[in-house]
Amino acid sequence: MTKSTNTIWHNATVTRTHRERLNSHRSAVLWFTGLSGSGKSTLAHAVEDRLHQLNCRTYVLDGDNIRHGLCSDLGFSVADRSENIRRISEAAKLLVESGVIAMTAFISPFHTDRQRARGIFPHGDFIEIFCQASLEVCEQRDVKGLYRRARAGEVKEFTGISSPYEAPLAPELVVSTGECLLDDCVARVVEYLQCRNILSINPEQACVVEVDDSQERPVISSGYSPE
């Protein structure tokens, strides 16, 4: 595909700063990544619900939903998965420019693709959240039986079985979705956003997030999108 050389960026009169002031909060992208069944979509939508209660403008880009429209022409080869993440990152960037707190719930298994996504955002706008759950836990949650089918060779290029998942090296936040209660996971994400002053346009003194995981319990998750 040949890239056009006849397009010029048009600067809008209403800027992201104007929209953030109207919303009374900053915009950013929360990039939830993890194995299928790790709780990405469950957590992203629960965080959105909590932020909505706090009068925040939000939107979740979900792996399955995106493949019904924007990425319906893509398969699950390495090249198609990379293109899927490229499109999602560009869509998320538009949402961030609109003043929205965007959340993406995709396996996004490859480090290079996530780094490429991070690279299109201004520094600090890309918040990578690793939904940490063991393969064993994710297989136990597999209500659709896709892990079983993948191990039987019926589902090709399935992340964690026949295709690799490269865990984040230095995510902004690690949430133990394999061991923690959903409410506790939500609270941890929201607390992080508060500490980063995302939820207010008036900067406050930064704080350190410290959570005692000893009493936390499992998140319940279902569904699969092998982005």
Which residues are known to be catalytic?
Answer: 108
Instruction: Answer yes or no: are the C-beta atoms of 163 and 206 closer than 8 Å.
Output: no
How far apart are alpha carbons 70 and 84 in whole angstroms? Answer: 9
DSSP character string of 138-197: HHHT-TT-HHHHHHTTSSSS-BTTTB-----SS-SEEE-TTTS-HHHHHHHHHHHHHHTT
Q: How far apart are CA 18 and CA 172, in angstroms?
A: 27
Q: At what angle do helices 40-53 and 182-195 cross, to 10 degrees?
A: 60
Which CA distances in Å does 96 have to 27, 38, 59, 189, 227?
A: 5, 25, 10, 18, 22
